[in-house]
Amino acid sequence: MYKKTILSICITTAILAGCGSDKNDSNKNILSPTSSDVTVSARQSVTVTGTLTGNDKDSDITFSIVDPDSVKLGKLVITDAAKGTFTYTTSASEGVEVINFKVSDGVNKDSISELTINIDGGDPLYTQQWHLNNTAQNSFSLGRGLAGNDLNVEGAISSGATGKGIIVAVVDNGVEISHEDLQNNVIAGGSYNLITGTNNPTPFANSAAHGTEVAGIIAAEGWNGIGGRGVAPDASLVGFNFLDQDPLCAQPTLDNFSTCLAGVQTFSNFAKSHGKSAFSDTARVFNQSYGYSPTLPFTADTDEDELMLDVVNHGPDGNGSLFVKAAGNGFQYFKFQNAYWAPSIAVIRGEDNNHGLPFHNANMSPDNTNVFNLVVSATNAAGQLSSYSSIGSNVFVAGAGGEYGVEAPAMVTTDRMTCTKGSATTNDRPSTGFMGGAHPLNEQCNYSSTMNGTSAATPSVAGVIALILSANPDLNWRDVREILAKTSTKINPELSPIMLDVAGKADFEAMGAWIDNAAGYHFNNLYGFGRVDATAAVNLARAYKVNLGVYVISDWTQKDKLDKAIPDGNPSGVTDSNTVLDNLVIEGVQIELNIDHKRLPDLAIELISPSGTHSMVMTPYNGFTYQGVADQTKPDEIVTGYVDTPMLSNAFYGEESAGDWTLKVTDVNNGQYSFWTQYRAGTAQNPTANKKVVEIPNDANGLLKGWSIRFHGHAAS
Amino acid sequence: MKNFKTVICLSVLLTSFVGTLAFAESNKAEKLEVADTKINEQNLVDRTSSTEGAYKVLQGDSIVRSDTLNKGQIVFDRLSQPSIVTGDLVIKLRDSASSETFAKDHGLSVSMNTESNLGVYTPISDAGLVKLLESIKKDARVIRAKLDKSTNKYQIQ
């Protein structure tokens, strides 16, 4: 009897030995595997790695889950079945998972034990923050997003890049620094009130929530059991109320007008809040969710630009800082001089789309045309350009800005505390169920679900930059731009170009599809290099070996006294070439234009590199419409066209500068043109009406008088 | 056309302070509703001509031309947008110039200066900002100079 058993074992062992197992080579596998219970702790959205416990003294073993359906709160993956290693990720803010796993040797009885996962310290609103992890949640709106269209933050966070050690300055209308979900990330005594001189930049007006909402998108505290989470949940915050208003101005009169306007937006205060004071000179990232959208061309502010150049080059520890800037919210219409401007009333009613072109091209705002501002457009939860987002060749990347939060998701973030302040206030008929003080997750109205705009997209990118810098603090501002250009996601890859009918032919490309430039970077005027991908950016930041060399700004290469006619309504347009001798690897291209034209929205302005890359730096049918309302009796108001008007393109990033650059100016419209404005009453031209359709006549040729070009980059090898 | 009068609505001057438009100010991308608007009827009178004085300033209830500017004075730009003269000057000096010496020479104190010699300077006395500015611009050490002003150019997006 025993002999037979021994023989049987020997045969079995011999068969198994043929499988090549080392242990089986020992002619064993008599013993059953053993296992023991395992307990791990997990945090919401942070991938946990662990090892199941099991053993078999005479055989190889395999780990597996007894019933995959028993994993209720997250996703469990056995990454190495032989070793029992696993990863676990959950979106739950709290809870306990008990999962049976088994250890098998293929012969003897399996051993079964429990894996217990304790989930704690999450953020209850995290699951509605589509920009962090888009699961097609509705974010308290009537609609849903499209899963996957997010900033891909989870991998970066799980890898340990959380923004820790990086200071982000929120330059806005103030920040409620005592907010329950911000206070632990706010540097005590580190903020500055530009009106009172105190260290509390909380806005004066109860309704002013913008900066607090922005701050939450950047660095709302994570895993504290309340609210949501910032993109960089461990980053530090300082706030400046550069856009706040003095409370004395609640009822402005002629008597207190001087006091009221003597508020905040001076160059001196710009300097204090943008890196040139003891309160702002430690910030590595400046969030600027502000801007202006003019209806006539302006020149750049040389002083602001130069101050920013100083800060990007000489910021904290010599690595410099980054300025992140909102592109604008004027795709359909915008506000300027307390009036609204739109291409037509039909656009506002949703009956027209202005040929698919932006009314506010981001290059219309001079503050968006310096290289030091990293200009951000907005995408929504469906992975499309947000309906309002300004765009242009100066956009560097796209962030998450959402829609309006009613029909489709906006951003879920911090709001002013209590139901008497901020965006969410006590209301029987709120814009969404989350906003009126009755929602169980927002009974104190400390959070908002309707924050949107490029104002929201900008801090989403500022947060990602904080993650990048926390992963590799030695990076400078140009390194970060390089990383973003290389890693941002090409969304809507099949995007079609916008074609216009000019002189009877519908073949004028007014705005291109995605391009791959000569240096291999993909670029598009809607999204720049694409939507930021936090995980890819952080991974590259850790492995970053590139040395961009010394930063060089070339001299302007000028062409003037050209006086070339721009034929009216003719797709041939006019071209002029500018030969550039300096050879830099391009990190940004600026031009300045001098063009006489009586109807600026007619003009499409395109820049073509020596490598053949085309960039539409100013799209036609834009909002440079002031010529239609200018008081012709006032010489100061008359707009002759472009006068030293700056524009920026990022489309040539990585290409070399030497060679012939071509400017093409095309007048696309020889017919009628009108726009709509809710304009000021009481001008000589417009004595009573304040809302009107304005026609701008023009059948004359324009005149290209001159243009200049310069480059930002480093010496080509 | 002497004393040509243009009525400018106060609401324009008080850009962003008064909610005269029917659509409310918002802290996000604004959804525009097409509605009638009520414009504040309180008016200022523009008494400026195109030739008198270099600056358009507020004097009483009128906008007039002036060749002088003082700290706290309201001045209007080419589009009649108001700003306030803060009294400070923004001055870019050549690299070789000492900001401290320059300030001493012109009766200024240095409030802030960057590595590229762009600074904010405060006059020690309040007298005659325009004359002071003109004098400073003639200094060979100066690349550019202007009066600092408080504006409401930037808006939340």
Q: What is the ipTM of this complex?
A: 0.88
Strands of A393-433, DSSP E = 395-400, 411-414
- Residues contacting residue A561 through CB under 8 Å, at least 6 positions apart: A705, A706
Residue closest to A450 by CA, chosen among A434, A428, A427, A429:
A434
Tell if the CB–CB gap between B14 and A257 is shorter than 8 Å.
Answer: yes
Q: Is A438 on the interface with B (CB under 8 A)?
A: no
CA angle centred on A38, ends A32 and A42, rounded to 5°: 150
Mean pLDDT calculated for residue range A541-552: 97
Give A329's DSSP letter: S
Token pair of A563 as six digits? 């006086």
Give pLDDT, residue A525: 98
Give pLDDT, residue A6: 45
User: Which of B32, B72, B84 has its CB closest to that of A333?
Assistant: B32
Token pair of B22 as six digits? 């029917």
Give A115's DSSP letter: E
With bands split at pLDDT 50, 70 and 90, how would you rate the model's confidence at A256? low
Give pLDDT, residue B127: 74
Say if residue A14's pLDDT is above 60: no
Tell if the CB–CB gap between B8 and A683 is shorter than 8 Å.
Answer: yes
User: Which of A242, A258, A267 has its CB closest to that of B84?
Assistant: A258
Tell if the CB–CB gap between B17 and A249 is shorter than 8 Å.
Answer: yes
All residues of chain B having their beta carbon less than 8 Å from the beta carbon of residue A243 are: 154-156
Tell if the CB–CB gap between B115 and A453 is shorter than 8 Å.
Answer: no
Tell if the CB–CB gap between A266 and B148 is shorter than 8 Å.
Answer: yes
| % of chain A residues with pLDDT over 90 | 85
Token pair of A502 as six digits? 């000019």
Q: Which residue of B has its CA nearest to A347?
A: B32
d(CA A234, CA A197): 27
Tell if the CB–CB gap between A683 and B84 is shorter than 8 Å.
Answer: no
User: Which of A268, A338, A348 has its CB closest to that of B86?
Assistant: A268
Distance in Å from the first CA to the final CA of chain A: 84
Q: How close is the nearest chain A Cα to the Cα of B6, in Å?
A: 6
Q: Which residue of B has its CA nearest to A677?
A: B34
With bands split at pLDDT 50, 70 and 90, how would you rate the model's confidence at A5? very low
- Residues contacting residue B140 through CB under 8 Å, at least 6 positions apart: none
Say if residue B49's pLDDT is above 80: no
Give pLDDT, residue A348: 73
Q: Which residue of A has its CA nearest to B151?
A: A265
Say if residue B153's pLDDT is above 60: yes
The domains of chain B, with CATH numbers, are: 6-85 (no CATH), 87-150 (3.30.70.920)
Give pLDDT, residue B6: 31
User: Which of A243, A258, A296 has its CB closest to that of B156?
Assistant: A243
Question: Which residues of A form the catalytic set?
Answer: 172, 210, 455
Tell if the CB–CB gap between A680 and B156 is shorter than 8 Å.
Answer: no
All residues of chain A having their beta carbon less than 8 Å from the beta carbon of residue B28 are: 210, 404, 410, 450-453, 455-456
Give pLDDT, residue B39: 28
Mean pLDDT calculated for residue range B35-51: 46
Q: How close is the nearest chain A Cα to the Cα of B75, in Å?
A: 10
Size of interface A-B (CB pairs under 8 A): 195
Say if residue A202's pLDDT is above 50: yes
Higher pLDDT, A428 or B14: A428
How does pLDDT run across A611-651, given as a tens digit for each residue? 999 999 999 999 999 999 888 888 888 999 999 999 999 99
User: Which of B30, B39, B114 has its CB closest to that of A276?
Assistant: B114
User: Which of A209, A290, A690 has its CB closest to that of B39?
Assistant: A690
pTM of the full structure: 0.91
Q: Is A681 on the interface with B (CB under 8 A)?
A: yes
Q: Which amino acid is at A135?
A: T
Say if residue B18's pLDDT is above 80: no
Lowest mean pLDDT segment, chosen from A238-247, A253-262, A495-504, B47-56? A253-262
A667 in Cβ contact with A568 (< 8 Å): yes
Mean pLDDT calculated for residue range B22-36: 44
Q: How close is the nearest chain A Cα to the Cα of B55, in Å?
A: 12
A202 in Cβ contact with A247 (< 8 Å): no
Residue closest to B14 by CA, chosen among B105, B82, B103, B72:
B82
Give pLDDT, residue A258: 57
Distance in Å from the first CA to the final CA of chain B: 41
Token pair of A640 as six digits? 């002759």
Q: Which residue of A has its CA nearest to B15?
A: A338
Lowest mean pLDDT segment, chosen from A266-275, A283-292, A297-306, B82-91? B82-91
Give pLDDT, residue A57: 94
Burial category of A49 from C-beta neighbours within 10 Å (exposed 0-12, middle 13-18, buried 19 and up): exposed
With bands split at pLDDT 50, 70 and 90, how would you rate the model's confidence at A685? very low
Tell if the CB–CB gap between B4 and A262 is shorter than 8 Å.
Answer: no
Give pLDDT, residue A552: 98
A424 in Cβ contact with A435 (< 8 Å): yes
d(CA A532, CA A379): 10
- Residues contacting residue A178 through CB under 8 Å, at least 6 positions apart: A202, A417
Q: Is A413 on the interface with B (CB under 8 A)?
A: no
Give pLDDT, residue A573: 97
Give pLDDT, residue B102: 98
Mean pLDDT calculated for residue range A44-53: 96
A317 in Cβ contact with A283 (< 8 Å): no
Q: Which of B28, B30, B80, B89 to mutate to test the interface with A (most CBs of A within 10 A)?
A: B28
All residues of chain A having their beta carbon less than 8 Å from the beta carbon of residue B27 are: 173, 207-210, 213, 423, 451, 455
- Highest-confidence segment of A131-145, A622-636, B25-39, B43-57: A131-145
Q: How close is the nearest chain B Cα to the Cα of A492, in Å?
A: 23
Q: Is A715 on the interface with B (CB under 8 A)?
A: no
With bands split at pLDDT 50, 70 and 90, how would you rate the model's confidence at B17? very low
Cα separations (Å) of A169 from A242, A263, A281, A600? 11, 20, 9, 37
All residues of chain B having their beta carbon less than 8 Å from the beta carbon of residue A680 are: 8-9, 11-12, 39
Q: How many CA atoms lie within 13 A of B51 on its CB side?
A: 4
At how many degrees (to 10) do helices A454-471 and A210-219 cross? Answer: 30
With bands split at pLDDT 50, 70 and 90, how would you rate the model's confidence at A560? very high
User: Which of A261, A348, A684 has its CB closest to that of B74?
Assistant: A261
How does pLDDT run across A131-176, given as a tens digit for each residue? 999 999 999 999 999 999 999 999 999 999 999 999 999 999 999 9
Residues across chain B: 157
Our CA dihedral for A167, A170, A174, A175, rounded to 10 degrees, sits at: -50
Buried b (16+ CB within 10 A) or exposed e, A236-267: bbbbbbbbbbbeebeebeeeebbebbbbbbbb
Token pair of A23 as six digits? 């242990």
Token pair of B37 as six digits? 């608007």
A494: how many CB neighbours lie within 10 A of its CB? 6
Give A474's DSSP letter: T
Token pair of A505 as six digits? 């032919």
Tell if the CB–CB gap between A262 and B43 is shorter than 8 Å.
Answer: no
Quickly list H helices, A392-533: 454-471, 477-487
- Residues contacting residue A279 through CB under 8 Å, at least 6 positions apart: A190, A191, A192, A199, A238, A240, A272
Burial category of A80 from C-beta neighbours within 10 Å (exposed 0-12, middle 13-18, buried 19 and up): exposed
A703 in Cβ contact with A595 (< 8 Å): yes
d(CA A52, CA A117): 12
| DSSP calls for B65-127 | EES---TT-EEE-TT--EEEEEEEEEEEE-TTS-HHHHHHHHTEEEEEE-TTSEEEEEESS-S
d(CA A614, CA A506): 19
Say if residue A200's pLDDT is above 90: yes
Higher pLDDT, A575 or A315: A575
Residue closest to A229 by CA, chosen among A238, A217, A237, A239:
A217
Say if residue A597's pLDDT is above 90: yes
All residues of chain A having their beta carbon less than 8 Å from the beta carbon of residue B146 are: 303
Say if residue A570's pLDDT is above 90: yes
Q: Which residue of B has its CA nearest to A209?
A: B27
B117 in Cβ contact with B97 (< 8 Å): yes
Our CA dihedral for A64, A69, A73, A77, rounded to 10 degrees, sits at: 30
Burial category of B26 from C-beta neighbours within 10 Å (exposed 0-12, middle 13-18, buried 19 and up): middle
With bands split at pLDDT 50, 70 and 90, how would you rate the model's confidence at A409? very high
Sheet holding A674-678, edge to edge: A334-336, A339-342, A674-678, A692-695
- Residues contacting residue A349 through CB under 8 Å, at least 6 positions apart: B34
d(CA A662, CA A668): 18
What mean pLDDT is reported for chain A? 92
Query: Strands A373-379, A395-400: parallel, antiparallel or unpaired by DSSP?
Result: parallel
